[in-house]
Amino acid sequence: MIGTQNRYKLERTAFYLGNVGYNIAIEKLAEELAVPQDRFDQAESRYKDLGEFLHRNESKVCDFDPEVYIQGSFALGTPTKPASSDEDYDLDIVVVFRSLTKMSIKQADLRCLLKDELKAYRKERGIHNEVEESRRCCTLVYAEGAQFHMDVLPAVPNEANMRMLLSSYLADEALADGAIAITDSDETTAYNIITDNWPRSNPRGFASWFKSRQIEQLNERRRAVLDAQGKVTASVEDVPVFRVRTPLQSSIMILKRHRDEWFAEKDPDLKVISIILTTLSSHAYSGENQVSDAIAKILRDMHLTIEQRGGVSWIVNPTDPTENFADRWEKYPERRTAFFRWLEAARQEFGAVQKFSDSGIVLNELSRSLGNPLTEAARSRISSSAGSRAVSAAPAAVGGASAPGLVFGEEERRPTEPKGFG
């Protein structure tokens, strides 16, 4: 008679062997969603070019020591290819004027300084579109066909204040390195006067936290890049995050596309914002080495770090304990409802295909939720991959699972939403 522990090991082994096709399909979806390396190179060259322009002799801001760097999905290595040629790559840029302070300039004046320089940059580089302006940043839209627009955020340093804040919450003060204060034209009073009351942001701190959630997997892949280049003595820190792709990054990319497709059919205005998806996914991830395992773990546990404070849902910014990424859920409760409906749909749809051992069937099923162009491109990758063999056996339930749902070995299925969700 087989003991319980041995039976579990046998069942778990059978699950993985029987789902080679599923694992391959998920890996190829991630590969297809990945932004081509030349696009990363373009993004890097464009923000560096802007930095050089701001330091030219004629620059009106050169004396303020502007530093230009990338933030958002490109900095985290989680951008995805646009679903169509009508969509752009969204390049988020920070320009922090290191010799200025909140008490030395108005937010409005800082915005004007940057906007004037962007107008000059646009003219010098032959960019046809006018510089646009939104609540917090200025936007440069490149020529049609380039599929790039650059959101440029003006800022001043705010490390000292952020370090004090983190210390008061007994949080990691190292995350304050690079913290900034930003402009916000909706705050009409503070925007037009000299004041210490500026909105805060901490993109570099968030990027550091994101790396910490996957540091082992990240460094393994960075080392592989250096080994392939023959740089055996170089530091893994020399390899930018966007040069590799970890299971966490790939999972976020796939879930972002699922989110886009799901909300496009339901209500685009209620779409879960990327910072919420990225933060909750990073909390739920626990070092899985396969993308398929990472997605299962993330979908199971994504809701666990959503707190309830006095009846208000909180998704805490891991680098600013006072910021709630879900702050709009209180005013617009339909956003919270939409999040959990999307999460349950993702659980059902990814869970249902885990039992199939044929990668083609997996892609057929996921085409309904990820879009046919993506799944067909992934199918082509499978067909053309040298040495890869998609398992072609008939679909079969795995480990006795007969109904759609995520498979987690011996662990019980967690609730689909926190207690009290309606």
- Domain identity same for 73 and 199: yes
Amino acid identity at 313: S
Dihedral (Cα; 65, 91, 183, 180), 10-degree rounding: -60
- Domain identity same for 201 and 340: no
- Domain identity same for 257 and 186: no
Element containing residue 67 per DSSP (H, E):
strand 66-71
Nearest to 258 by CA among 368, 404, 405: 368
Query: Does the residue 231 lie in any domain?
Result: no
Strand pairing partners for 152? 93, 138
At residue 14, does pLDDT exceed 80? no
**Could you read off the pLDDT of 90-140 as tens digits, one per residue?**
889 999 999 999 999 999 999 999 999 999 999 999 988 899 999 999 999
Confidence of residue 401 (pLDDT cuts 50, 70, 90): very low
Query: Does the residue 51 lie in any domain?
Result: no
- Domain identity same for 30 and 70: no
Task: Tally the C-alpha atoms within 13 A of residue 288's C-alpha that lie toward its C-beta.
Answer: 21
As a whole-number percent, the residues of the chain with pLDDT over 90 amount to 70
Last residue of a domain, one of 208, 234, 268: 208
Q: Which residue has the tokens 């802007």?
A: 50
At residue 409, does pLDDT exceed 50? no
The better pLDDT of the pair 391, 348 is held by 348
Strands 316-317 and 200-201, by their bridges, are: unpaired
Taking residues 284-295, what's their average pLDDT?
Answer: 96
Helices marked H in 266-413: 274-284, 291-301, 328-331, 333-353, 359-370, 372-384
- Domain identity same for 159 and 25: no
In 136-250, where do the E strands start and end?
Answer: 138-141, 148-157, 180-182, 200-201
Structural domains of the chain, count = 2
**Could you read off the pLDDT of 193-246 as tens digits, one per residue?**
999 999 999 999 999 999 999 999 999 999 998 988 888 888 988 888 888 899
Last residue of a domain, one of 179, 208, 237: 208
Strands 200-201 and 138-141, by their bridges, are: unpaired
Distance CA 99, CA 113 (A): 14
Taking residues 321-345, what's their average pLDDT?
Answer: 96
**Could you read off the pLDDT of 38-48 as tens digits, one per residue?**
888 888 888 99
Query: Does the residue 53 lie in any domain?
Result: no
At residue 315, does pLDDT exceed 60? yes
Query: Does the residue 422 lie in any domain?
Result: no
Share the mean pLDDT of the chain.
86
- Domain identity same for 92 and 170: yes
Query: Does the residue 109 lie in any domain?
Result: yes
- Domain identity same for 177 and 274: no
- Domain identity same for 266 and 340: yes
Best mean pLDDT range from 3-12, 150-159, 409-418: 150-159
At residue 404, does pLDDT exceed 70? no
At residue 413, does pLDDT exceed 80? no
At residue 418, does pLDDT exceed 70? no
Through-space distance between the first and last CA atoms of the chain, rounded to whole angstroms: 46
- Domain identity same for 330 and 249: yes
- Domain identity same for 20 and 101: no
Please report, for the domain that includes residue 85, its CATH number: 3.30.460
Query: Does the residue 228 lie in any domain?
Result: no
**Could you read off the pLDDT of 78-93 as tens digits, one per residue?**
999 887 767 778 889 9
Q: How far is CA 6 from CA 264, 274, 411, in A?
A: 46, 41, 16
- Domain identity same for 203 and 69: yes
Task: Pull the structure tokens for residue 131.
Answer: 């510089």
Query: Does the residue 250 lie in any domain?
Result: yes
Last residue of a domain, one of 192, 208, 224: 208
Cβ atoms < 10 Å from Cβ of 32: 22
Query: Does the residue 41 lie in any domain?
Result: no
- Domain identity same for 78 and 130: yes
Containing domain of residue 194, as a range? 60-208
